[in-house]
């Protein structure tokens, strides 16, 4: 989004800006020129001039001319995604209709129907992600429905988000945090699913820079510090490989690639090791130039050369050439032992495979067409449409399912006739049934896995052969939802259960109406919604269903009437919020917590009395003074304080941004806060006594609990204790690390 400029520049400054704009434009042309005709360049120039004129009064938050942004988005579309002339034109014009007085009709007149259609798609979805309140899940769902006609809408939107993340410094911290979490929640997995590994990694790195700057800076600093030593190691490692490849007369290039900051941090967390002990901080990539009909044979030939020199780990071989990933990724991955005793990941692929890995589907549509002419991207969009059509009315459920499937790695299983099917890791026999056809899923009675009978909930693994047993008398049951992981299966089961529930609810509606008349309660829409809220249900349909199955009865209605008569703050608060954690407070109803916040300073001070405002420290991340924190307005538990890097922060900020309040620590008085540390080390005589003495005697801290397990000469445990702030805790951690036998100390949840 742009903003109008208010400062008038001098003639010299305007001339300097004009030169800079042309410099940016020529940079764009230089990446377009090899594949564009003279006519194409004229159309690009026309779009540039049009956008320049349209945005002449607009500037970015950084103060730069706004035209820099569309030029940058166009350059990303060409250079990093691999799109063509039409996408360059659309990238240059992508904000014109939203930010200026020009219309889609104007775009059609100047640039034609195709460009106008893409701009229309981009304009419809624009603002969904940039708005100040929460991400609108329903709009995201509609967005996917509209853009499924032309995938370029998704790709240009991805380029737009990447440039916005690269220039996020100009925004205020709260906006940075919201956009970064949103990027982690939707755009990074979208890039992953479309096969843009480099873009996905950069989005995750840039998001980490704002969600946890200390971690980002620490890991990036260590990468720089170890660069010289790493480069020496890589050169020594690849020297004998180069020699053998040259002797075999293979056309190749060898690259040493450092993994992304977020990837390294993820490994440090998962393996619970410091930076120095992450063994695959970098990978060696061998890219061979060979004809398509020899790709597989030559890739395995190079694998043979590498494993003749270095001993491979048989458990770490990944063959994505024989069975490519669902996003089109093809490569051979192996992990080998170097002469220095370190494991090294080696990736082997062809030039075509490397293009696909870097530029995703845009690079390989022409390679993946089937006999029916359907491309890989068409298959992906078909699956998206299936999810959209079967999705529940609650769009946030849809987003959770959609995101889950974007992140998933794949397994490969077979039908009884030997047909290969791709499913996400964790998929069950019932998921497989629904992947064949919704009717097969609905009537699924059981399954035979490799000729043995297994339950519907049985998890599948690559190589399994599954036969589904059906019965016309079978129908979906509520507990089936816990048996499946794919969005398609969940959507179909929910749709079927909902139809069944509707039929039963019709009887419940009549039953409720009779009971309301009996109690002389008027049956109005407002009264039904009040009952829905009172019984903590999601919709009137649930209310009717509960009465149909006799879970609710006239005694519950009488209790409701008694509760209404009591009134009081609790009742007031309860009716101010919907009982579904996924539903916002209705705009026309008062919100007592928000009202009190309005009467206070904009930032919630933790540790201050705050008079009647109710807040608690969230147990999921145990924040303490010194942590960067935010407040989250819950449905009926007041305000909960979370750390910015809390595991739940991404979802809370992406889905419920309207409930987020700024918070900081009140330093006027010293308060003890519960925190925890994890300790690992050698199980030596007296080590536990040394640790507890340091905590309770030297630091005079109260220990709430200790849990220590020892095994084969090592120990691992947690200590929960009360501290004043992060500085207090960090000093203590430093002291414990110096105790003989202690090998690792870390804060729980960090």
The answer, yes or no, to whether residue 364 has pLDDT greater than 60, is no
Same domain for 151 and 32, yes or no, is yes
User: Cα(380)–Cα(156) distance, rounded to whole angstroms?
Assistant: 17
Residue 429's SS3 state is helix
Q: Retrieve residue 253's tokens.
A: 């290039």
Q: Retrieve residue 431's tokens.
A: 């998921």
Residues 6 or more apart in contact with residue 291 via CB below 8 angstroms: none
Number of Cβ atoms within 10 Å of the Cβ of 654: 24
Same domain for 102 and 163, yes or no, is yes
Residues 6 or more apart in contact with residue 181 via CB below 8 angstroms: 207, 211, 649, 650, 653, 654
Segment among 125-129, 204-208, 562-566, 680-684 with least mean pLDDT: 125-129
Task: Tell whether 743 is covered by a domain.
Answer: yes
Distance of CA 179 to the CA centre of its chain: 12
Q: Retrieve residue 13's tokens.
A: 């400054």
Highest-confidence segment of 260-264, 451-455, 531-535: 260-264
Backbone dihedral angles phi then psi of residue 149, each to the nearest 5 degrees? -70, -30
Q: Decide: residue 311, CB within 10 A, 0-12 exposed, 13-18 middle, 19+ buried.
A: exposed
pLDDT band at 568 (very low <50, low <70, confident <90, very high): very low
pLDDT of residue 608: 54
The answer, yes or no, to whether residue 217 has pLDDT greater than 80, is yes
pLDDT of residue 423: 86
Q: Select from 146, 178, 211 the last residue of a domain.
A: 211
Give me the sheet containing 742-747, strands edge to edge.
703-711, 714-723, 673-682, 742-747
Q: What does each C-alpha distance from 409 to 326, 334, 355, 404, 624 come to in angstroms?
A: 9, 18, 21, 10, 36
CATH of the domain at 295: 3.30.460.10
User: Cα(320)–Cα(341) distance, rounded to whole angstroms?
Assistant: 27
pLDDT of residue 6: 41
Task: Tell whether 401 is covered by a domain.
Answer: no
Q: Are the C-beta atoms of residues 462 and 434 closer than 8 Å to each other?
A: no
Q: Are the C-beta atoms of residues 414 and 464 closer than 8 Å to each other?
A: yes
Task: Tell whether 574 is covered by a domain.
Answer: no
**Residue-wise DSSP of 122-177:** HHHHTTTTTSSS---HHHHHHHHHHHTT-THHHHHHHHHHHHHHHTGGGS-HHHHH
Task: Tell whether 579 is covered by a domain.
Answer: no
| Crossing angle between the packed helical segments 38-54 and 85-93, to the nearest 10 degrees | 10
Q: Residue range 99-117: average pLDDT?
A: 90
**Torsion, Cα of 626, 628, 634, 638 (10° steps):** 30
The answer, yes or no, to whether residue 696 has pLDDT greater than 80, is no
Residues 6 or more apart in contact with residue 402 via CB below 8 angstroms: 384, 387, 487
Rg (CA), the chain: 30
- 317-339 burial, b at 16+ Cβ within 10 Å, e below that, comes to eebbbeebbbbbbbbbbbbbeee
CATH of the domain at 89: 1.10.3210.10
Same domain for 415 and 550, yes or no, is no
DSSP state of 428: B
pLDDT of residue 287: 95
Residue of 728 and 201 predicted with greater confidence: 201
pLDDT of residue 206: 95
Task: Tell whether 578 is covered by a domain.
Answer: no
Q: Residue 730 is part of which domain span?
A: 673-747
Q: Are the C-beta atoms of residues 679 and 744 closer than 8 Å to each other?
A: yes
Same domain for 473 and 504, yes or no, is no
User: Cα(306)–Cα(332) distance, rounded to whole angstroms?
Assistant: 12
Which run of H or of E encompasses 501? helix 487-518
User: Cα(622)–Cα(92) distance, rounded to whole angstroms?
Assistant: 46
Task: Tell whether 393 is covered by a domain.
Answer: no
pLDDT of residue 403: 57
Backbone dihedral angles phi then psi of residue 627, each to the nearest 5 degrees? -75, 145
Which residue has 């990736």 as its token pair?
Answer: 347
pLDDT of residue 355: 83
Same domain for 625 and 534, yes or no, is no
Highest-confidence segment of 237-246, 659-668, 717-726: 237-246
User: Cα(481)–Cα(489) distance, rounded to whole angstroms?
Assistant: 8
Task: Tell whether 505 is covered by a domain.
Answer: yes
CATH of the domain at 423: 3.10.20.30
Pairing label, strands 410-414, 420-424: antiparallel
Pairing label, strands 282-288, 318-319: unpaired
- Terminal C-alpha separation, the chain: 35
pLDDT of residue 576: 39
Same domain for 24 and 111, yes or no, is yes
pLDDT of residue 132: 41
Which residue has 């890791």 as its token pair?
Answer: 425
Task: Tell whether 640 is covered by a domain.
Answer: yes
Q: What is the average pLDDT score of the chain?
A: 79
Residue of 332, 205, 184 lying closest to 258 (CA atoms): 205
Q: Are the C-beta atoms of residues 663 and 695 closer than 8 Å to each other?
A: no
CATH of the domain at 722: 3.30.70.260
Segment among 225-229, 432-436, 545-549 with least mean pLDDT: 545-549
pLDDT digit string, tens, across residues 143-197: 555 444 567 888 888 999 999 999 999 888 888 888 898 888 778 887 887 778 8
User: Cα(398)–Cα(582) distance, rounded to whole angstroms?
Assistant: 12
Same domain for 114 and 257, yes or no, is no
The answer, yes or no, to whether residue 223 has pLDDT greater than 50, is yes
The answer, yes or no, to whether residue 404 has pLDDT greater than 50, is yes
Q: Are the C-beta atoms of residues 651 and 186 closer than 8 Å to each other?
A: no
Q: Retrieve residue 176's tokens.
A: 């940075």
pLDDT of residue 299: 94
| Crossing angle between the packed helical segments 85-93 and 11-32, to the nearest 10 degrees | 150
User: What pairs with residue 283 in β-bridges?
Assistant: 257, 345
The answer, yes or no, to whether residue 595 has pLDDT greater than 60, is no
Same domain for 506 and 468, yes or no, is no
pLDDT of residue 388: 54
pLDDT of residue 643: 84
Backbone dihedral angles phi then psi of residue 338, each to the nearest 5 degrees? -80, 170
Same domain for 176 and 117, yes or no, is yes
pLDDT digit string, tens, across residues 3-39: 444 456 788 888 888 999 999 999 999 988 776 888 9
Q: Are the C-beta atoms of residues 709 and 685 closer than 8 Å to each other?
A: no
Q: Retrieve residue 199's tokens.
A: 């873009």
pLDDT digit string, tens, across residues 614-635: 678 887 887 877 778 888 887 7
Residues 6 or more apart in contact with residue 373 via CB below 8 angstroms: none
User: Cα(683)–Cα(51) distance, rounded to whole angstroms?
Assistant: 68
Q: Select from 159, 177, 211 the last residue of a domain.
A: 211
pLDDT of residue 607: 59
The three-point CA angle 399-404-406 to 5° equals 95
Share of the chain above pLDDT 90, in %: 21
Residue of 539 and 460 predicted with greater confidence: 460
Same domain for 175 and 232, yes or no, is no
- What is the chain's length? 750
Q: Are the C-beta atoms of residues 200 and 253 closer than 8 Å to each other?
A: no
Q: Residue range 204-218: average pLDDT?
A: 92
Residues 6 or more apart in contact with residue 540 via CB below 8 angstroms: 528, 529, 532
Highest-confidence segment of 362-376, 464-478, 712-726: 464-478
pLDDT of residue 111: 93
Same domain for 432 and 355, yes or no, is no
Residue 277's SS3 state is helix
Pairing label, strands 673-682, 639-643: unpaired
pLDDT of residue 614: 66
User: Cα(501)–Cα(543) distance, rounded to whole angstroms?
Assistant: 11
Share of the chain above pLDDT 70, in %: 79
Segment among 55-59, 329-333, 429-433, 587-591 with least mean pLDDT: 587-591
Residue of 653 and 514 predicted with greater confidence: 514
Number of domains, the chain: 6
Same domain for 171 and 227, yes or no, is no
């Amino acid at each position: 989004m742009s903003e109008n400029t208010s400062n008038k520049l001098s003639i010299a400054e305007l001339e300097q800006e004009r030169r800079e704009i042309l410099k940016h434009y020529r940079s764009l042309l230089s990446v377009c020129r090899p594949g564009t005709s003279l006519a194409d360049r004229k159309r690009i120039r026309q779009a540039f001039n049009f956008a320049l004129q349209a945005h002449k009064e607009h500037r970015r938050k950084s103060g730069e001319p706004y035209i820099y942004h569309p030029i940058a988005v166009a350059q990303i579309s060409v250079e990093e995604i691999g799109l063509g002339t039409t996408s360059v034109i659309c990238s240059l014009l992508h904000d014109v209709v939203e930010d200026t007085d020009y219309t889609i009709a104007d775009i059609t007149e100047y640039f034609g129907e195709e460009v106008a259609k893409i701009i229309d798609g981009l304009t419809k979805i624009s603002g969904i992600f940039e708005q100040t309140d929460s991400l609108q899940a329903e709009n995201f769902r509609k967005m996917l429905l509209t853009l499924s006609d032309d995938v370029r809408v998704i790709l240009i939107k991805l380029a737009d988000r990447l440039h916005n993340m690269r220039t996020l410094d100009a925004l205020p911290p709260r906006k940075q945090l919201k956009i970064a979490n949103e990027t982690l929640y939707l755009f990074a997995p979208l890039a992953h699913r479309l096969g843009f590994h480099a873009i996905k990694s950069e989005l995750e790195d840039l998001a980490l820079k704002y969600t946890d700057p200390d971690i980002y800076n620490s890991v990036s600093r260590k990468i720089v510090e170890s660069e010289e030593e790493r480069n020496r190691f890589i050169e020594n490692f690849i020297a004998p490989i180069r020699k053998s490849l040259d002797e075999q007369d293979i056309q190749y290039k060898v690259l040493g690639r450092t993994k992304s900051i977020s990837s390294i941090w993820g490994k440090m967390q998962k393996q619970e090791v410091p930076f120095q002990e992450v063994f695959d901080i970098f990978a060696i990539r061998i890219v061979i130039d060979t004809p398509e009909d020899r790709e597989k044979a030559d890739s395995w030939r190079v694998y043979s050369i590498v494993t003749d020199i270095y001993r491979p780990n048989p458990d770490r071989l990944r063959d994505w050439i024989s069975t490519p990933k669902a996003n089109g990724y093809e490569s051979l991955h192996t992990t080998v032992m170097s002469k220095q005793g370190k494991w090294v990941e080696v990736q082997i692929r062809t030039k075509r495979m490397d293009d696909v890995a870097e530029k995703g589907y845009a690079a390989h549509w022409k390679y993946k067409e089937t006999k029916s002419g359907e491309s890989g991207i068409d298959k992906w969009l078909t699956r998206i449409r299936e999810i959209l059509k079967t999705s529940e009315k609650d769009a946030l459920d849809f987003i959770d399912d959609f995101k889950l499937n974007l992140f998933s790695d794949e397994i490969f299983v077979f039908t009884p006739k030997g047909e290969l099917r791709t499913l996400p890791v964790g998929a069950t026999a019932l998921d497989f049934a629904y992947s064949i056809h919704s009717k097969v899923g609905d009537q699924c009675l059981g399954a035979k896995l490799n000729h043995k009978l297994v339950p519907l909930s049985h998890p599948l693994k690559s190589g399994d052969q599954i036969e589904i047993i059906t019965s016309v008398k079978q129908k979906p049951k509520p507990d089936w939802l816990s048996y499946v992981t794919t969005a398609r299966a969940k959507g179909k089961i929910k749709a079927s259960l909902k139809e069944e529930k509707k039929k039963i609810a019709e009887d419940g509606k009549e039953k409720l109406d009779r009971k309301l008349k009996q109690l002389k309660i008027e049956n109005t829409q407002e009264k039904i919604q009040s009952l829905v809220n009172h019984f903590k249900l999601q919709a009137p349909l649930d209310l009717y269903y509960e009465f149909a199955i006799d879970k609710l009865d006239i005694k519950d209605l009488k209790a409701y009437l008694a509760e209404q008569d009591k009134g009081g703050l609790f009742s007031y608060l309860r009716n101010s919020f919907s009982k579904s954690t996924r539903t916002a407070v209705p705009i026309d109803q008062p919100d007592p917590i928000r009202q009190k916040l309005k009467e206070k300073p904009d930032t919630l001070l933790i540790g201050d009395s705050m008079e009647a405002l109710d807040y608690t420290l969230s147990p999921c991340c145990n924040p303490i003074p010194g942590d960067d924190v935010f407040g989250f307005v819950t449905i009926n538990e007041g305000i909960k304080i979370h750390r910015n890097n809390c595991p739940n922060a991404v979802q809370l900020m992406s889905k419920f941004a309207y409930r987020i309040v700024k918070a900081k620590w009140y330093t006027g008085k010293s308060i003890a806060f519960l925190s925890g540390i994890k300790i690992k080390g050698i199980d030596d005589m007296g080590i536990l006594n040394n640790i507890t003495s340091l905590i309770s005697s030297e630091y005079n801290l109260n220990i709430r609990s200790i849990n220590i397990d020892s095994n084969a000469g090592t120990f691992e445990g947690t200590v929960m204790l009360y501290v004043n702030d992060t500085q207090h805790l960090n000093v203590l951690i430093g002291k414990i690390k110096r105790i003989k036998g202690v090998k690792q100390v870390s804060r729980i949840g960090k």
